[in-house]
Amino acid sequence: MREVIRFDIKSVRRTYEPFCRVDSVNCIIWFELGVNCRKERRLAHSVICPSCIRLKCDLQRQLKRTSNESPSKKVARQHSSSRAPLSHMSSASQERRRANQQNDRKNMMKKVLHYAEAEVSLDDEQSDEVSSITAILENSLKEELEKLFNEGEKHGVGHILKNIWKEDVSRESEHKLFQKDQKCNGTGRGNRWNMITIRIALAVYIRSPAAYEALKSFGILQLPSRSTLQAYTGAFLHEPGANSTCIEKQVAQFVLHCQKRILDGKKESKKDGVLIFDEVKVISRMMWNSRSQTLIGLSMRAEEMASLGDIYQTADNSCAAQTSHILQFLWRDLTSNFDIVGPYFTSDSTIDSKFTLSCVMETIKLFQLHGLSTSLLVCDGASSNLSLIKATHGFSGGYPIFKGW
């Protein structure tokens, strides 16, 4: 029977002694037939209980179905899209069906990633058509668009639909802004440039300023001047050292952030944070900062490291040297997880524990002047950092400062 059905039935109980017998697991050994039972049935089933009779009918029906079943039906049940109940399938067929579902899922994920990275280029007519469609959807069919997003949320793909829609709309708007710059900035007087044009110009300028000047001289495209691009390239650079100018704007943003938290009903920030620092080795390259007319990549001089020299006499009066290592600081509020990018310090050699300690003290003092306290220090396990931690806790060195901190 098992060779024909190809799987074990849980409702069947077999006994082999003193002879092979198949019964139902709910078999009633002692039972009595009904009074109204026919004589033929009473004689035929005098030794079979009702549970075994039902089991016999089920087995006969199952044997008839499996014996006449074609192999194609079995393969169809093992397909990943089959709706046949797993409970009616053999264990081998169930494993095969699960394996097919896993393979189809992997193939579908590969297709999704391929389609996500694929791009389709449109000509002017198609681009105008897509722009008109997106404009109509944004202006007249917002409710239907929200229904589409809500329907996607039920299937777990709502965020994907929203991201695709935002990318398509932003691309169309950037395309229009670039065309607007080309139309309005043809006179060369009072030009106003959008960020899309600035990004395109910077992509060419940083690779070859000469090629950018040649492209601009052709007059095919309306491009910003070199001074405009230089203003953007040096807008976010500041000098090394613990200077207030490097964190003033960030502290102002942090104050606004604290006020917003209070208005939202959250607890007021304690303005107490953790100071994170790390040492970075820089590549042997120097650049020209056109905004400040200075070279980028030189280490700090003795006059810029006055506090360091006064404490440890580590700064000498040698000429400017190329930067080898940079020590960067980051202050994070413990209450609201707000980050402030702190100052950075440059060195022409490997940073030791004395240099690190002086930079840490200067940075803590800088944040303290702006009303921000520091309770924790976070760093990696470099030997200079370990020496710094030991020195600040009074375990080694000639200056056992902050003992018990």
Cα separation, 250 vs 339, whole angstroms: 9
Nearest to 283 by CA among 300, 299, 297: 297
Exposed, middle or buried, 327 (CB in 10 Å: 0-12/13-18/19+)? Answer: buried
Element (H, E) at 402: none
Specify whether the CB–CB gap between 148 and 161 falls below 8 A. Answer: yes
Nearest to 45 by CA among 31, 24, 59, 58: 31
Element (H, E) at 308: helix 306-312
The sign of the CA dihedral 171, 173, 179, 185 is negative
Amino acid (1-letter code) at residue 1:
M
Q: What's the gap between Cα 124 and its chain centre?
A: 34
Query: Could you tell me the mean pLDDT of each successive run of 10 residues in the chain, 405 residues long?
Result: 55 69 70 58 59 78 72 81 79 86 89 75 67 70 76 72 68 69 78 81 79 85 82 63 81 86 84 89 57 53 51 48 80 86 83 85 90 88 81 58 45
Specify whether the CB–CB gap between 340 and 246 falls below 8 A. Answer: no
The structure's pTM equals 0.39
- Cα–Cα distance list, 376 to 271, 325, 337, 360, 364 (Å): 13, 24, 14, 12, 11
Q: How much is the pLDDT for 303?
A: 55
Cα separation, 224 vs 229, whole angstroms: 7
The residues, ordered by sequence, that sit 6+ positions from 83 with a Cβ below 8 Å of its Cβ are none
Upstream peptide bond of 18 is cis (omega within 30 degrees of 0): yes
The sign of the CA dihedral 14, 20, 26, 29 is negative
Provide the residue ranges of all domains of the chain, joining segments of one domain with +. 1-70, 123-184, 189-233, 244-392
- What is the DSSP secondary-structure string of 272-288? EEEEEEEEEEPPS--EE
Cite the DSSP H helix spans in 189-288: 195-205, 209-218, 226-233, 248-263
